[in-house]
Structure 1
Amino acid sequence: MASKFERGNGNFLSLVEMLEEFDPIIKEHVRRITSENIHVHYLGHKIQNEIIVMLADEIKKELIKNIKEAKYYSIILDCTPDSSHQEQMTIIVRYVKFSSNSIIVEESFLGFLNANDTTGKGLFDVTYAELQYLGLEIDDMRGKGYDNGANMKGLKSLSQTCWESRFESVKAIKLQLDDVREALLEVGETNSDAAIVEEALALAENQLSGFDFLVSTVIWHEMLNRVNIVSKKLQAKDMHLEIAIQEINNLIEYYKDYRETGFPKAIDEATKIASEMEIDPIFKEKRKIKRKKRKDETSSSEEIAFTVEENFRVNFFLYIVDQAIASLEKSFEQFKWYEGLFGFFVSTYVEDY
């Protein structure tokens, strides 16, 4: 108890100092320690840690009890390295807590797990072992979420799954196309590295000066802007499931309309940008590569011939819009499934109560 009444002696001993002002039992205990009447005082750092562990265990038991009463649950995992560079994974359980007059969605932190193997299988094995230890049935899990855990989603890269995050990058390019091109031309004229000069001039003269690049930039900007707006709405603290479903459905309908009417609008906007940059607003004909005919083909085999603009519309514009619609419709179906499941829970438990 040598650190008692010393500055910065920690929260635990500071709490003891405060309690002895009001509690006669604590006051007598402290007196016996300071007068050296006793030497085993249970105020050292080891007993502090034991008390913390005991309290944590009791709290965890109560949380597990609540989760089991709810039966169905979801988990949220997040991998982060600690100060010793050991990969740790936090595990949070989300469940619905029912009472006679309220229904509350609870999120409970259950602890840290050491994750030596950060592959999808490794993280699953650690999580599964912890759920077994806690006595939670994995068959009762109805959802899962990961932060900084792309491995658990099948090893997909960020750009494949979160393409809406590219909005700010596309916006910066679209609004400063002429400046970017001028900067690249300057690099091409002043840099002493031949490889850098070649790459800069190729980007400036071939890429940024192409009308197809201008059109694609306009299309991406419009599509990502719409996703960005909806994404921010979905992140609101007061967002409800039914509103989120409606927002996604509205975005799907917007893209379906954009699929039919968006291409000529993109051409018009790109033409204005091309005029400011003194670029011809035409799609350049690319060199055609002839292929040998297969043995089963005859000279009468019909080939579909597209104009350069129509080819761009079919193989670029329609392709990315259709991909966006398919991705959103998949998310929409998942949200609808959760809405139906939640409705089932509510109706079942309300009837029980």
Structure 2
Amino acid sequence: MKRGETIDKKEMAFLEAEKSRWKAVLTRLTAIVHSLAVRNLALRGHREKLFSPSNGNFLKEVELMAQFDPIMKEHINRVQKETSSHISYFSHHIHNELIDLLSSEIISAMVADIKQSKFFSIILDCTPEISHNEQLSVVVRFVSLEGKPHIMERFMGFLEAEESTGQHLASMILKRLEELKIPFMDCRGRSYDNGANMKGKNKGVQSRLLEMNPRALFVPCGAHSLNLVVVDAAKESINATSYFGILQKLYLFTASTQRWAILKKHVNITLKMWSDTRWESKIKSVEPLRYQTAAVRDALIEVRDHTKDSAIKVEAQSPAEGVGSYRLAICSVVWYDLLCQIQHVGKQMQSPSMQFDVATNLLKKTERVLCGYRATGFVAAQMAAKDICEQMNMDAVLNQKRLRSTKRHFSY
């Protein structure tokens, strides 16, 4: 025993060697899973067999590593020789388990960082996923004390919301913080959208959580609040629904390569889909009509004249008439000016390092600019729209829409 020459000495040495080998193999497999997960790449393919054409990114990475790494090469050789009984750790069950372990470690590190800084704020938003289930995203904002203090925002995962009531969402938030062992009493700020179930004064999430922690102040989402200011400023003179409805019709170019080639021949700025979530992102869809209205109209006319499909002729004729009108030219100028005012502010409001005083000054400045534009901007927009009509050889005249007449009966 003192000399270490017991009868099972060789067996113990073999077990230690096997332990070290499996540790080295799992270290490499974990590194592959981590690399693919960071780049949002799919791990699995149609088959789970080595050296198969469609076995997915994970097994392809294993095959590539085996060409240069002797440990992985030896492991693959053992797997191929003993296909019936040898453990490979290449199955999708192992993938999922490794992902869960990595996720747990990452969340633990983030929670430790949050606890070190003590105070934090939470950002919440509900979004339906592709399977039409409502998901609540949870983001924690805090001051990280690692190195130089700096503001951090950490995504803590999705919560599936079975109900969208304020009581149910509030209980989900508290339950998630309890699972992470983060005390809600250390919360000093909350930010949601402007929905009634979130910001409601009586039954909303903000009022229910404020009763539990009076120091967890509620701050409305800056992007949503800024969007409401822009919409209110524009709706007084422009029907947003009809204008963006015409923009939506312009995407007939994307359904055909021939029509897309016609569009590229006329314009330098391609048409962009407009977003449903942020109004400031719609500037990319308005920009072609603001600066290349005549070119877009020429492209629509060429599509109408060269297509043999009667349905496409109608789809091209309707937006061509709308694009060539003085009314839509004014809409394009006004919307582009408004969206330009808020684009820079909207990007700054989304910065993790944004400070309250700076954000307040930006919003007040933007509000003053929009109020000034409401008073004097329409005249300048008319002048710019007249220049657009001159480029298209169109009359700059606002045609009055025919009012719908309603028959009045004697009993009314």
TM-score (norm. length: structure 2):
0.47
Question: RMSD in angstroms over aligned alpha carbons?
Answer: 5.0
Preserved CA contact (<8 Å) 2:124 2:136: no
Percent of aligned positions that are identical: 24
Q: 2:18 matched to 1:2? A: yes
Residue aligning to 1:137: 184
Structure 2 residues not aligned, in runs of 5+: 1-16, 32-88, 201-223, 228-273
Q: Which amino acid aligns with 1:232?
A: K
Alpha-carbon distance in 2 for matches of 1:199, 1:106? 49
Query: Contact 1:170/1:217 (CA < 8 Å) preserved in 2?
Result: yes
1:56/1:271 CA distance change after superposition, 3 Å: closer
Secondary structure class of the residue paired with 1:280: coil
Aligned partners of 2:404 and 2:363: how far apart in 1? 42
Query: Structure 1: where are the runs of 5+ without partners?
Result: 16-43, 298-353
1:73 to 121, 134, 151: 121
2:387 & 2:380 partners in 1: Cα distance? 11
Report the equivalent of 1:184.
Answer: 300
Does the 8 Å contact 2:123/2:192 carry over to 1? yes
Structure 1 length-normalised TM: 0.54
Amino acid at match of 2:310: A
Aligned to 1:24: none
* Higher relative contact order structure (alpha carbons within 8 Å, sequence separation ≥ 6): 1
Q: How does 1:146-165 map to 2 (within 5 A)?
A: 162-165=278-281
1:164-207 deviations in Å (ceiling 9; x for gaps): 110011012222211211111122222222222112112212x1
Residue 25 of structure 2 aligns to a residue in which SS? coil
Is the Cα contact below 8 Å between 1:88 and 1:112 reproduced in 2? no
Q: 2:389 aligns with which of 274, 294, 299?
A: 274
> 1:170, 1:279 → 2: CA distance?
20
Which residue is equivalent to 1:194? 310
Looking at structure 2, the residues matched to 53 and 188 of structure 1 have their Cα atoms a distance apart, in angstroms, of: 54
Is this contact kept in 1: 2:192–2:199, CA < 8 A? Answer: no
Deviation per CA, 1:114-155: give whole Å up to 9, x if none.
x44466457655433222443633795630358xx9x9799x
Contact 1:4 1:13 in 2 (8 A): no
The 2-side partners of 1:209 and 1:14 are apart by 59
User: Relative to structure 1, is the Cα distance of residues 106 and 283 closer, same or farther in structure 2, using a 3 angstrom cutoff?
Assistant: closer
What is the aligned partner in structure 1 of residue 60 from structure 2? none
TM-superposed deviation, 1:92: 3.7
2:261 aligned with 1:245, yes or no? Answer: no
- The residue number in structure 2 matching 1:303 is none
Return the offset for 1:285.
2.3
Q: Offset at 1:106? A: 5.4
CA distance in 1, matches of 2:363, 2:378: 22
Query: 1:216, 1:2 → 2: CA distance?
Result: 73
Could you tell me whether the CA contact under 8 Å between 1:164 and 1:228 is conserved in 2? Answer: yes
> Which shifted more, 126-135 or 245-254?
126-135
